[in-house]
Amino acid sequence: MPFESDIERELLALRSSGLDRRPRVLGSSQLPEVLVEGRKVIGLCSNNYLGLADHPDLVTAASHALRGFGVGAAASRQVSGTMDIHLQAEQRLTRFVGLEACVLFSSGYAANTGALQALAGRSDVLFSDSLNHASIIDGCRLSRARVQVYRHRDPEHLQALLSQHRSGSSRALVISESVFSMDGDTAPLSELRDLCDRFDAALYVDEAHALGVLGPRGQGLCALLQVRPDVLVGTLGKAFGSAGGFVAASANTVEIIRNKARSYFFSTAPPPLQAALALAAADLVESSDDRRARVLGHAARMRSALGEMGYETPAGSTPIIPVLVRERDAVMRLSSSLLEKRVFVQGIRPPSVPIGTSRLRLTPIASHEDIHITRAIDAFRSALPDYLSLRKRQRNRL
């Protein structure tokens, strides 16, 4: 079949399965209320947890950097793309997370794929939580190491797999998100650390959704639980408000990553303004206890209000609130009906989450006012009859 016809056949199949994706287009910056298709609606689906994505300090830092350094780094870091501001940003982020060294990437996705590919190879074994992010899964694949997937947040299963598969490999890494991106639950990091110590494995923690939000000065879940990770991955695209990723670890580990990670080595360095934004955001994030209290307060209020109404919202202590709908078409219908009521929440379907667990994923941000949360809760109240009748149909089918 000719290429274009074959592509068309695939696209039609995708559309008829109801899993094709077309994003809603925003006509505004990531404010508490965003313009969606020309209407002002409450935005409840960004990862802009602290509300920094349009913060004036960051806008100023970026415009200074533009004037001082231009728009492009013009080469990969190893060739001629390393500017002093990249190094300053790395030192600042190192201090932020409290480890020995750190290396910037263009994104958190590039950080995970690069670091895992650099740190593990054919003779190594990786133990990965079953709900880890796609960038971790892809990094595991790129490494060509053996991969053992343990049940979500299950140290006993991890222990069984370590007993069975640790020996016979040179390196072992246990890989987990600290706050899981689609469920908002947290990893049992102390138990993972103990198992790593017992089985001579390194602990690799992706703090994408915890940095800035949890822990003293927003240092993340490792800092909150006082667990030392061997490798810590962060993104600058969520609470930090802009874009970019980084990996922090010992100085030696970071040097290996700089020498081997292909997404670092063979890719143009992040633009200097990205480094300037990392520097400025680190200061803002550290001094944002008030913002952390606000976003966590909003989340607690929404979670309990929705739970009391009858929505299935698993317990949690992070700003990520899943509302389980289970069926992928129903979740998109609920999302559209909430948008009609001026609340923008995205439906999350496979392959982002396992089949049968489609959900709305709500994330308030620190810059929401209490009235925004009240209006969002009201919208959910008026969407409740549809949700409850759907759940009844689901129960009757069982």
| Residues annotated as catalytic (active site), given as ranges | 181, 209, 238
- Residue 199: CB minimum distance to ligand PLP, A: 24
Q: How far is the CB of 150 from ligand PLP (least distance, A)?
A: 17
**235: contact with ligand PLP by CB under 6 A:** yes
Residue reference for tokens 């408000």: 241
Q: Rounded CA gap, 364 and 386, in Å?
A: 23
Among 49, 69, 109, 380, binds ligand PLP (CB under 6 A): 109
Contacts (CB under 6 A) with ligand PLP, residues 243-262:
245
Asked if residue 341 lies in contact with residue 326, where contact means CB atoms within 8 angstroms, the answer is no
Dist. CA 302–CA 48, nearest whole Å: 17
Query: Least distance in Å: CB of 228 to ligand PLP?
Result: 20
Q: Measuring CA to CA, which residue among 288, 292, 305, 233 is closest to residue 263?
A: 233
Judge contact between 123 and 169, C-beta under 8 A.
yes
Q: Is the bond leading into 322 cis (omega within 30 degrees of zero)?
A: no
Comparing CB distances to ligand PLP, the nearer of 120 and 239 is 239
DSSP state letters, 347-385 = EE-TTSS-TT-EEEEEB--TT--HHHHHHHHHHHHHHHH
Q: Which residue is nearest to ligand PLP (CB)?
A: 108
> CB neighbours (10 Å) of residue 245?
28
Minimum Å gap between C-beta 237 and ligand PLP is 4
Q: Choose, by CB under 6 A, the member of 155, 212, 237, 271 that binds ligand PLP.
A: 237
Residue 293 phi, psi dihedral angles, 5° rounding: -60, -40
Residue 358 makes contact with ligand PLP by CB under 6 A:
no
**Cβ 171 to ligand PLP, closest distance in Å?**
21
In the structure encoding, which two tokens stand for residue 379, read together?
């919208």
> Interface with ligand PLP by CB under 6 A: which range of 108-116, 274-282, 291-299, 353-361?
108-116
Between residue 115 and residue 174, which ones bind ligand PLP under the rule CB under 6 A? Answer: 133, 135
Nearest Cα to Cα of residue 53 among 34, 38, 70: 34
Residues whose CB falls within 8 Å of the CB of residue 108, separated by 6 or more in sequence, listed in order: 135, 206, 208, 233, 234, 235, 236, 237, 244, 245
d(CA 104, CA 139): 16
| Binding flag, residue 177, ligand PLP (CB under 6 A) | yes
Nearer to ligand PLP, 43 or 372 (CB): 43
CB closer to ligand PLP, 148 vs 235: 235
| Choice between 196 and 278, CB closer to ligand PLP | 278
Residue 76 structure tokens = 């990969």
- Out of 181, 242, 318, 363, the only residue in the binding site for ligand PLP (CB under 6 A) is 181
Element (H, E) at 133: none
Sign of the CA dihedral 87, 90, 96, 99?
negative
The reply on whether position 361 binds ligand PLP by CB under 6 A is no
Q: Taking contact as CB under 6 A, which single stretch among the options 9-17, 204-212, 258-266, 308-316 is the one that binds ligand PLP?
A: 204-212
Query: Which residues face 362 on adjacent strands?
Result: 321
Binding span for ligand PLP by CB under 6 A among 85-93, 123-131, 203-211, 257-265: 203-211
Q: Is 241 in the site for ligand PLP (CB under 6 A)?
A: no
The correct pick among 112, 117, 274, 288 for binding ligand PLP (CB under 6 A) is: 112
Least distance in Å: CB of 112 to ligand PLP? 6
State which residue, 321 or 373, has the beta carbon closest to ligand PLP. Answer: 321
Tell me, what amino acid is at 5? S
Q: How far is the CB of 209 from ligand PLP (least distance, A)?
A: 6
Range 25-32 contact pairs with CB under 8 angstroms and sequence separation of 24 or more: 29/53, 29/54, 30/54, 31/367, 32/365, 32/367, 32/368, 32/369, 32/372
Q: Is 206 in the site for ligand PLP (CB under 6 A)?
A: yes
CB 335 within 8 A of CB 21: no
Ranges within 8-37 binding ligand PLP (CB under 6 A): none
Residues that bind ligand PLP (CB under 6 A): 107-109, 112, 133, 135, 177, 181, 206, 208-209, 235, 237, 245
